[in-house]
Amino acid sequence: MAEIDWKEKYRLLAERQGADELEQAEIEQLLCRTISRLTIATSGLDPNLDPNLAKIRGAIRDGVDLELKKTLDALSDALMRTDESKPSTANVVSPPDLLQRLLSRINLTGKPAAQLDKIIQQLQADPANIADAQLDELLALITSKNSSAADSLPRPGLFGRIFKAEEENHKAAESSSVSEPNQVLLRLLEKLNWPGHLTGEVTNLMARLGKDAAAEAWIPVLDDLGKLVTTTLGEVQTEMRATENFLSELTLRLQELDQHMAGSASDRANATQNGEALNAAVQGEMGEIQHSLSVATDLESLKIDIAHRLDTIQGHVDAHLKAEEMRRKSALIKEQALRQRLHLLENETTSLHSKMMDAKSKALEDPVTGLPNRIAYEERLATEVARWKRTHNPLLILVWDVDDFKQINDRFGHKAGDKALRVIGRILSARPRELDFVGRYGGEEFVMLLVDSTLEDAKKLADEIRESIANSGFHSSAKEEIPITISCGISEFRAGDTADDVFVRADEAMYRAKKEGKNRVIVG
């Protein structure tokens, strides 16, 4: 048992020693950083101190060693000589007073406070003979209390000089980000594909976020954007309710049709039953006639009996014909009403189909350029990729991006930017064949799908389009010529490629074209 206690005590002592060494290393690192910053802050104050300060900064990179201690001793001597050479003044605060002021700002409680008071008393009583262990203890008490709060306190004097650059950088970052919300909201409005009837209002919102806008212009613009979105959602909900009402009415009419069909089936069943009843009645009367013929004793009574039976048969036939005529007229009336309802339903269905097709067409169309938008591109891409996998015929993606488009918007306004996009869209769509695809991918970026074209033909076509756009002679509303160029990246589908693989290659090639001078075509 004693041996186990000894091992446990040894283990605890070893752990404590390791923790103490780790804490000592952290304090040493903190002390080194503090000394380094102080040497930087005090550089230039006295030419006699500068050489020693430079030596300390060089020695402190390797940690606290004998060489550093010698350098610190030399610095201490230089400080003493500097202090002796300076004239004394009545306004200078004595070191004990300065130390007392510094230590009074440390708010400790409990045992640490008692330890701090004891060290202060010893320091004031005999500062020359205070031990290094007591100084280390004092440093530990100070750093444990104030290291976490040091960053939140103001740093006047020497510490202000140390952290001056950091504060200036922070202020510069704040000043540069004043207009950042405006730019973020502007880029968001430019990237989104808005419905055609909202293009004018969104353009006005973007104009309010231009380069001359106030720093907080985004706040009212965001508020107006929220109202615009709310109004649009209300319109969509109204259309959805109208569609729901139409579908409900359609369901009712289909139920009426089902009831009519069921009624027709019931009428046919009744007609069948009536026909069977008539047949039974006629057969019964014919049987009676045959019986009368077999038992008749004279001709006159036979004639009377047969005439009576024939009248009865005639009555059954007349009743059946009358019921059938009534049934036919009722069916005819129901059929005419059903035809009218079906005709009305057909007209409403055609109208709804036309509206849905128009809505789908608008959803797939870019409102600014009139080209297919990104949704249409994704649909067409899926079709062409499936065909490429089936036939292995060439398929290429071309990614286009207008050069310096933001400068056009900033200098000439968003209306000029939209006009430039329309011109570019018209030139892009005029060159490819009908089986190819051209669309606006988003912002100032366009995309092409070339089917059954070689890489050489695609590059030749892209260069022709690029030159046509550069020579388009585009002018602003003020008749000022605006230079427009466009860069293009091309990539071909290869074995094992996904659509994303090819697009990424084309997009990277386009950005290489930008970096290499713009207004060029690069194959990726």
310 versus 168: the higher-pLDDT residue is 310
Q: What is the DSSP string of 387-425?
A: HHHHH---EEEEEEEETTHHHHHHHH-HHHHHHHHHHHH
Q: Is residue 206 within 8 Å of 406, Cβ to Cβ? A: no
d(CA 323, CA 273): 12
d(CA 206, CA 259): 58
Indicate the domain borders of the chain.
2-84+108-171, 180-363, 374-523
pLDDT, position 328 = 82
Where residue 348 falls among pLDDT bands split at 50, 70, 90?
A: confident
Work out the average pLDDT over 335-358: 75
Relative to beta strand 395-402, strand 445-451 is antiparallel
Cβ within 8 Å of residue 372, ≥6 positions away: 364, 365, 366, 380, 437, 438, 439, 440
Phi, psi of 490 (to 5 degrees): -120, 140
Percent of the chain surpassing pLDDT 70: 63
491 versus 218: the higher-pLDDT residue is 491
pLDDT surpassing 80 at residue 235: no
Question: Which of 188-197, 386-395, 428-437 is predicted most confidently?
Answer: 386-395
194 versus 437: the higher-pLDDT residue is 437
pLDDT, position 128 = 60
151 versus 318: the higher-pLDDT residue is 318
pLDDT, position 15 = 76
Work out the average pLDDT over 459-487: 85
Q: Is residue 491 within 8 Å of 465, Cβ to Cβ? A: no
Relative to beta strand 445-451, strand 437-442 is antiparallel
Among residues 285, 365, 384, 444, the one annotated as catalytic is 444
Return the number of other C-beta atoms located less than 10 Å from residue 29's C-beta. Answer: 12
pLDDT, position 152 = 43
pLDDT, position 388 = 94
pLDDT, position 224 = 78
Where residue 505 falls among pLDDT bands split at 50, 70, 90?
A: very high
Task: Report which of 466, 433, 446 is spatially closest to residue 397, judged by C-alpha positions.
Answer: 446
pLDDT, position 389 = 93
Cβ within 8 Å of residue 396, ≥6 positions away: 448, 449, 450, 453, 455, 458, 490, 491, 492, 493
Three-state secondary structure call for residue 22: helix
Q: What share of the chain is helix, strand, coil (3-state, %, to 5)?
A: 75, 5, 20
d(CA 387, CA 498): 13
Chain mean pLDDT for the chain: 75
> Is 444 considered catalytic here?
yes
pLDDT surpassing 80 at residue 454: yes
pLDDT surpassing 60 at residue 401: yes
Q: Is residue 421 within 8 Å of 368, Cβ to Cβ? A: yes
Q: What digits encode the pLDDT tens for the residues 8-53?
A: 766 777 777 777 777 777 767 666 666 766 666 566 666 666 676 6
The C-alpha angle 424, 212, 181, rounded to 5 degrees, equals 85
Three-state secondary structure call for residue 447: strand
Q: Is residue 412 within 8 Å of 480, Cβ to Cβ? A: yes
- What is the pTM for the complete model shown? 0.43
Work out the average pLDDT over 397-414: 89
Burial class (CB in 10 A: 0-12, 13-18, 19+), 514: middle
d(CA 405, CA 519): 13
CATH architecture under which domain 374-523 falls: 2-Layer Sandwich (3.30)
Work out the average pLDDT over 418-427: 91
